[in-house]
Structure 1
Amino acid sequence: MASQDTVQAVGGESLTGVRKHLLIDGNLITTERTITSIDPATEGVVGYAPDAGVEETEVAIAAARRAFDTTDWSTNVEFRIHCLDQLHKALLDNIEELRELTITEVGATRMLTHANQLAAPIEIVRYYADLLRTYPLREEMGEIEVRGQQHRRWVEKEAAGVVAAITAYNYPNQLALAKLAPALAAGCTVVLKGSPDTPLITLALGELIARYTDIPAGVVNVLSSSDVAVGETMTTHPDVDVVTFTGSTVVGKKIMAAASGTLKRVFLELGGKSALIVLDDLEESDVAMAAMFAAFSICSHAGQGCALTTRILVPRTQHDHFAELVSANLQRITYGDPGDQGTYMGPLITERQREKVDGLVQRAVAAGATLVTGGEKVSPGFFYTPTLLAGVDPDSEIAQEEVFGPVLAMIPYDDDDHAVRIANNSAFGLSGGVMGKDEERAIAVGRRIRTGTFSINGGNYFTPDVPFGGFKQSGIGREMGTAGFEEFLETKTFAATVKS
């Protein structure tokens, strides 16, 4: 990774001691209180972000309300396309600066910034700018005769209003742009709050909007805050029409309850405990591929992904063989400096998160799971070694709770029906996968799993045009794709008498 003395952030600042600004009503401002951003790979200070309070939040919401109610943002489709095109260009023009900040603050590997940590999220903006060019915001329903009079009916889609968007720390660019781009395309105004663990990269997006786009003042407001009252204000304020949140299921439940007071539209992207089912018809070369896929998947971004397959279900007769293969692959994982091109896995985000992961592993072993490999903390930085727990009880804590670390739980099963029961034995329903030689059989198994996304033999569904979201306690609603756009639209029906 480049020296912190020479790496540049958006606006030309050194990454050592970076200071970013809130974006409120078109102004870049700071606060007396700050959040210290820590590099999870070195435990050093990256920089400082303003720590917004309720007062700044209320000003931001008022600005978003005013921009929605008094400007033509919500109705001027061509202008919105123009601004989204500008934002896409600004992101591409500043991608290297954003890359270094993402690596340093998020602990994302350089490899991942060329995919889902940065490059892919930028294309979400391109997707929604193009979708807006062709999406039918009006649909004619034809005429109907009622009591001798002809009536013409049509349906129009219009912006849902002011959006409160709250994101998590693990993929801050993806999460912010998957909310911001479709909301803006729909004509909504937005108050976006990033995670206090990764505030700088989210604020950098706001600075790009302020400096390089014609998006009017108040249309986008970007906050960073460590104050829980800020989130409460965003989710209960009467001037907010829509709440979109990505984070834990525990917090999602609280947001849903809080938003009910004003009957806001709420959509939530929450936790997961996804299962990868390995069918018994795989040939040995495919078995080896499945083991490698499972190992490298669980270590992607150190396991800090809600849709990762954190349980692997294998035929009981092949359990020990699979454990050997997966363990060998986990021991091949390179971890360390995320800025190094050869590093596959970076650190966990905080020491607090590492302690949580380690506690779950230690309790799993105490409960009877076999620690095949891993289970160690490595410092400096918040690293945790790639970990395999075998012989896991499907009802145990480690098989039920979201770990958010590089920990894979291996569970034996007896037949397809048993595997489906185990996979569905979860409060979550975000994702999953199956690997099998007979594709029709694999698809049939996949159709029985209660999840919002599903991968057959390693198929990749995570692209801007494909809806993403979950069943059960993994959330409500969808992000990305046309479905993600329509989350920010209201449907209005018109009827007019036809003069003879």
Structure 2
Amino acid sequence: MTLTLPHTGLLIDGVWQAAESGRTLAVENPATNEIIADIADGGAIEARRAVEAAGRAQASWASTAPRRRAEILRRAYELVVERTEWFAELMTTEMGKPLDQSRGEVAYGAEFLRWFSEEAVRIGGESALTGDGSTRIVVSKVPVGPVVIITPWNFPLAMGTRKIGPALAAGCTIVFKPAEKTPLTSLALADVLIEAGLPAGVLNLVTTSSPTEVVTPWMSSGIARKVSFTGSTAVGKTVLAQTVPHVMRASLELGGNAAFIVCADADLDQAVQGAMDAKMRNMGEACTAANRLLVDRRVADDFSAALAERMAALRVGNGMDAGVEVGPLIDEAGRSKVDRLVQGAIAQGARTVVGSGSIGGPGYFYSPTVLADVPASCEIATEEIFGPVAPVIPFDSEEEAIRLANATTAGLVGYVFSRDIDRVLNLGEALEVGMVGINAGLVSNPRAPFGGVKQSGLGREGSTVGIDEYLEYKYLAIPRRESPNV
């Protein structure tokens, strides 16, 4: 099969172009180690041009009728859906996830374009009188201004649409840096948005092998008024620090360390299925992945055995091949980290129920793994695994489960499984997270506010509140003349 590539240049002010330096960036297939494409590798010069283009286009785009903005987003949604197979093949080839999962991401990612096309025409305001009746208060919502968007490699379409959709709907122009590991899906999205009618300069995209060389000029430009970033907590803190000199708005979706709590009265079949959903989506390379499986000691062995049986049956291989359920990890560094965490847990007393470690040959494959009797103090319980490894940590009481679950600086998502409605509600309310799956291993939905607490980030994406991250409130005070006597 010959993969059809999108534009591979930099998009600046409506024009696709090469990097002035002539540099290119190789995109690798993590399943085969083959080079898929060489794309433009931008730097500080292109970054400055891009943010200046976004600045010039801001006033015109902000004044574009909401209905027109909505129509462009709706058309982009339709084009993405029509090209589902193309997007899915691009995603699987550059990122590794099985083709069926890529198709699922296309459907999920496209939905943000449709959702925010509908929200574009529902940006509201308020009119009221002051308490003494002397002044009219008129409150409107206006675009924040040019936005810096930085996305990760693990969900290359959905992370783009979840940010670009509301920014465009709100009337903000964009400078966009996709992940250097998976830029092709983002370039394809830009192609679609331009085809859908997006004016020149509204979306500017710079791919680069040196994120600092591009992002730093954007953050220090004084043109950009907001940043939306998804990635690691460490990098997110650096981005947040860069907002200070110009007092920029920030939305940050950072790391997770999700606790997956299984109570003694849980339906174990349902809990195992939930664990498969929460752990194995994207080979475990997701911030919402179940990172610590906290299981009541009375059912821990049965749960571990049942989960291991499911994990052992998974077919590992190139995501483009029929029947494959687990693709490669993104690179050798990611695979080495996973193996280090597993070996560290085993050294501290954990036992392997299933799993054989790294898989040889081309590609960055790792065997689906279940670890039982994992000490809660292990590094694997304190650091995001980002791989197909499920560490089972037994607990003896609900109080202990909550203590263990909340003993982390992360607070993105948690999961609770029990047949008792009061128990799941009490545990869900006690978890220090932004989202909770109740007897369910998947929580992401465009209709729901996605985001966390503590060091898992700032702000929310999706839902009716997602567009507010790109809007400012403007208040007009209008003194009233005395009404004539009638």
TM range (shorter): over 0.9
- Looking at structure 2, the residues matched to 253 and 367 of structure 1 have their Cα atoms a distance apart, in angstroms, of 31
Task: Tell me, yes or no, if structure 1 residue 497 matches structure 2 residue 464.
Answer: no
Q: 2:169 aligns with which of 185, 188, 194?
A: 185
Displacement of 1:296: 4.6
Q: 1:356 aligns with which of 316, 334, 337?
A: 337
Listed as ranges, the gaps of 5+ residues in structure 1 are 11-18
Q: 1:218 to 1:415 in 2, by over 3 A?
A: same
Displacement of 1:401: 0.4
8 Å Cα contact 1:193/1:222 also seen in 2: yes
Displacement of 1:97: 1.6
Q: Does 315-324 or 105-114 show the bigger shift?
A: 315-324
> Could you say which residue in structure 2 is the equivalent of 1:153?
137
Q: Deviations over 1:273-298 (max 9, x none)?
A: 1011111113xxx2133124313531
> Could you say which residue in structure 1 is the equivalent of 2:297?
316
8 Å Cα contact 1:48/1:200 also seen in 2: no
- Looking at structure 2, the residues matched to 294 and 125 of structure 1 have their Cα atoms a distance apart, in angstroms, of 29
Q: 2:351 aligns with which of 356, 370, 374?
A: 370
Listed as ranges, the gaps of 5+ residues in structure 2 are none
8 Å Cα contact 2:142/2:474 also seen in 1: yes
Displacement of 1:333: 1.4
Q: Does 85-94 or 352-361 show the bigger shift?
A: 85-94
How is 1:132-281 mapped onto 2 (pairs within 5 angstroms)?
132-136=120-124, 138-145=125-132, 150-210=134-194, 212-227=195-210, 228-281=212-265
Q: 1:213 to 1:332 in 2, by over 3 A?
A: same
Structural RMSD (CA): 1.6
- Looking at structure 2, the residues matched to 362 and 161 of structure 1 have their Cα atoms a distance apart, in angstroms, of 48
Q: Deviations over 1:57-93 (max 9, x none)?
A: 1100000011013x25345212211221222222223
- Looking at structure 2, the residues matched to 419 and 121 of structure 1 have their Cα atoms a distance apart, in angstroms, of 34
> Could you say which residue in structure 2 is the equivalent of 1:95?
84
Q: Deviations over 1:327-363 (max 9, x none)?
A: 1111011221212341111110111211111111112
Displacement of 1:256: 0.7
- Looking at structure 1, the residues matched to 373 and 249 of structure 2 have their Cα atoms a distance apart, in angstroms, of 43
Q: Deviations over 1:36-62 (max 9, x none)?
A: 000111111111111110110110000
Q: 1:459 to 1:134 in 2, by over 3 A?
A: farther
- Looking at structure 1, the residues matched to 306 and 89 of structure 2 have their Cα atoms a distance apart, in angstroms, of 35
- Looking at structure 2, the residues matched to 72 and 178 of structure 1 have their Cα atoms a distance apart, in angstroms, of 19
- Structure 1 ranges of 4+ moved more than 6 A: none
TM-score by length of 1: 0.92
- Looking at structure 2, the residues matched to 323 and 143 of structure 1 have their Cα atoms a distance apart, in angstroms, of 62
Q: 1:478 to 1:375 in 2, by over 3 A?
A: farther
- Looking at structure 2, the residues matched to 161 and 476 of structure 1 have their Cα atoms a distance apart, in angstroms, of 19
Q: Deviations over 1:281-319 (max 9, x none)?
A: 13xxx2133124313531211110001112111112322
Task: Tell me, yes or no, if structure 1 residue 394 matches structure 2 residue 383.
Answer: no
- Looking at structure 2, the residues matched to 478 and 90 of structure 1 have their Cα atoms a distance apart, in angstroms, of 26
- Looking at structure 2, the residues matched to 456 and 29 of structure 1 have their Cα atoms a distance apart, in angstroms, of 48
Displacement of 1:459: 6.3
Aligned residue pairs total: 478
> Could you say which residue in structure 1 is the equivalent of 2:312?
331
How is 1:301-312 mapped onto 2 (pairs within 5 angstroms)?
301-312=282-293
SS in 1 for 2:126: strand
Q: 1:8 aligns with which of 1, 4, 13?
A: 4
- Looking at structure 2, the residues matched to 325 and 154 of structure 1 have their Cα atoms a distance apart, in angstroms, of 60
Q: 1:74 to 1:279 in 2, by over 3 A?
A: farther
How is 1:450-469 mapped onto 2 (pairs within 5 angstroms)?
450-458=432-440, 460-469=442-451
8 Å Cα contact 2:61/2:202 also seen in 1: no
> Could you say which residue in structure 2 is the equivalent of 1:118?
106
> Could you say which residue in structure 1 is the equivalent of 2:50?
60
- Looking at structure 2, the residues matched to 261 and 395 of structure 1 have their Cα atoms a distance apart, in angstroms, of 39
SS in 2 for 1:479: coil
